[in-house]
Amino acid sequence: MQNESGDEEDEEDEEDEAAEVEERREKLAVTSDQEGIRTGEEEEDVLFSRRSKMFRFNDEKKEWKERGLGELKLLLNRRTGRIRVLMRREETLKVCANHVVTKDLELQPMAGTDKAWTYFTADYSGINEMGEYTGEVYTELFAFRFKDPQAARDWKDAWLESGRKREKMAEEEMAQQQGSREEEEEEEEEEEASTSRCSEASPPARWAAARPRKETSRWETSLLSWEVLSSPSPPSRHPAAAEAGLT
């Protein structure tokens, strides 16, 4: 990467081009909206957005190579909680950086300047060291340089805040899953208890089939005995009739 004097010259060139580039970018954005083109950012919230120049380190030549100038974004997916870095070139809106922010990614200050930060990552933009699109995933050392130190500090603050958001969402998801498991266990226990109570309360099937026995009071028993004693005895069969087979 160039020294501070080179940075100033680059910044002057960037400022001269900014108005023209911004106009082209707005035209492309309007065209995309009119044609209903999806950008892949529809379900994401913007945590950070700032104009930046991106570099990648060339291992063979041991030097920084510019990859693009554009809007650097940190995006939070509302559905998955995933946070990613996305950058598109201003003139074409082609992606030059696209990767997920994981807890092992660590920002390092760029030596010799307070306007840039670097880090290693697996890049999914699919661009090789020659600037050609291949669709492959590459492990890269990236640097993002901003217009002034304050913008660089804002980038670091947003990066750290995104990490806290990611950890918080992970904790909330774990708590929600734990709560769901506990609710399922409680429902199962209640169902088992209800089944057990029903089994204890229900009489055996043979009880339900049997006719209930009628209890007879002492008064009813005495009355029945009196009726039997006061009733005339039925006539007995005559012996002769018995012999004749007649009644």
For the chain, 247 residues long, the average pLDDT of each consecutive 10-residue run is 55 55 54 63 94 93 93 93 94 90 91 95 79 82 96 96 85 81 81 74 53 52 47 48 42
Q: Phi, psi at residue 182, to the nearest 5°?
A: -65, -40
Distance, in Å, from the CA atom of 86 to the CA atom of 125, rounded to the nearest integer, reads 9
Q: For the segment 82-123, what is each residue's pLDDT rounded down to a tens digit?
A: 999 999 999 888 999 999 998 889 999 999 999 999 999 988
CA-angle at 37, arms to 33 and 39, nearest 5°? 100
pTM of the full structure: 0.59
Domains, the chain, in order of start with CATH, read: 39-168 (2.30.29.30)
Q: What's phi and psi for 238, nearest 5 deg?
A: -70, 135
Task: Please say whether the beta carbons of 115 and 146 come within 8 A.
Answer: yes
pLDDT digit string, tens, across residues 184-199: 888 888 888 877 776 6
pLDDT score, position 197: 72
Q: What is the structure's pLDDT at 240?
A: 46
